[in-house]
Structure 1
Amino acid sequence: MTTETTALTTQVYRVWIKSTPERIWTAITDPEWTTKYGYAAPAYFELKPGGAYHSSATDEMREFGKQNGFEIPDPIVDGEVVECDPPRLLVQTWRMLMDPVTAAEPYTTLTYLIEELKSQPGVCRVTVTHELAGAPASATVVAGSPLDEAGGGGWAWVLSDLKSLLETGASLSGR
């Protein structure tokens, strides 16, 4: 996977996945799939321009918050669908509500682009572009940490886990 970061305001992540555009689209937009990789939080989309988006807290997240003296809100992320062209393009707004700092920042724009490679049938390039102008705390969170043993977190972790799940049937965490 490659990662590009421009002053953290625009982050671009790419991964090549041996799968069909339709399977990748479903894994990104279906809550039954989104619970199988990344942070395992179900994501709900109304897949039309102006449609709502939100991701719900898991019991594991709520328990973590409780053990550490804070409450995890539900939803944990919200936004709106801006553009939807299945199984190729999804553009949405995105705001993390898990802590007061990121919740106070403006909505950011998240774009998923799924492209099947003509030179390698059955392989798709998935590009996630997250535009984070005016949202420095969110930019830090979604960039992850290269020192984190769990894959660094953020979009790099989520896309790596998505790739593993679609190619092997198992996520990196073994869910």
Structure 2
Amino acid sequence: MTDTAPTTALTTQVYRVWIKATPERIWAAITDPEWNKRYAYQAPSYFELTKGGSFHATATKEMKDYAAANGFELPETILDGEVLECEPPRRLVQTWRMLMDPRTAAEPFTTLTYEIEDAKMQAGVCKLTITHELAGAPETAAMVAGTEDEGAGGGWAWILSDLKTLLETGKNFAA
């Protein structure tokens, strides 16, 4: 028998993008709310960049308006977690939980790792790798995989593409 289950439930998802930017600029774009509110879902994310520090992202007005127009309530904090490792500007490991949907909020925390490396093939380019460990969190796995057809958005691939666009052009997809 052939298994035809969707791949969105994979317990480990890995995403990579090469960005023409320094490790410091990429790090800032990930960890500084003045940067991270400028791409992807534009929800500012706040980090206490020390082992045991907190992480959370807050809903934007547009997100709240969309939720209200579609008959559901959105919490103020839409993501939360804890910093497990912090090695600026190269590595960040954190727990991560999506609170904006009751199905994902009921799942356990997942583990998200950001790694920023100098690209070997070209000076001035860095490779950003995101590894998301999603054991026991199939709803979250589907969301971060980018199942647009199921209303989940573009997931990590879309977020990284918009981050790359912003850092290289100064404009995000919405501009």
Q: Does the pair score TM above 0.5?
A: yes
Give distance in 1, aligned partners of 2:122 and 2:98.
36
Give distance in 2, aligned partners of 1:81 and 1:55.
13
Please name the residue that 2:29 is paired with: 27
Q: Is the 8 A contact 2:17 2:129 kept in 1?
A: yes
Give the deviation of 1:173 after TM superposition: 1.6
Offset from partner CA, 1:110-147 (integer Å, 9 cap, x none): 00000012441100000000000000000000001265
Offset from partner CA, 1:33-52 (integer Å, 9 cap, x none): 11110100000000000000
Secondary structure at 1:80's aligned position in 2? strand
Structure 1's 97 and 147: CA in aligned 2 closer, same or farther, altered over 3 A? closer
Give distance in 2, aligned partners of 1:117 and 1:131.
24
Please name the residue that 1:155 is paired with: 156
Give the deviation of 1:65 after TM superposition: 0.4
> Residue 44 of structure 1: which of 43, 46, 58 is its match?
46
Matches within 5 A, 1:96-111: 96-111=98-113
Give the deviation of 1:73 after TM superposition: 0.4
> Residue 131 of structure 1: which of 118, 130, 133 is its match?
133
Could you tell me the TM-score, scaled by structure 1's length?
A: 0.92
Could you tell me the TM-score, scaled by structure 2's length?
A: 0.92
Structure 1's 143 and 6: CA in aligned 2 closer, same or farther, altered over 3 A? closer
Secondary structure at 1:25's aligned position in 2? helix
Identity %: 68
Give distance in 2, aligned partners of 1:111 and 1:72.
26
Structure 1 gaps of 5+ residues are: none
Please name the residue that 2:171 is paired with: 170
Q: Which runs of 4+ in 1 moved over 6 A?
A: none
Offset from partner CA, 1:27-69 (integer Å, 9 cap, x none): 0000011111010000000000000000000000000000001
Matches within 5 A, 1:5-84: 8-84=10-86
RMSD over aligned Cα atoms: 1.8
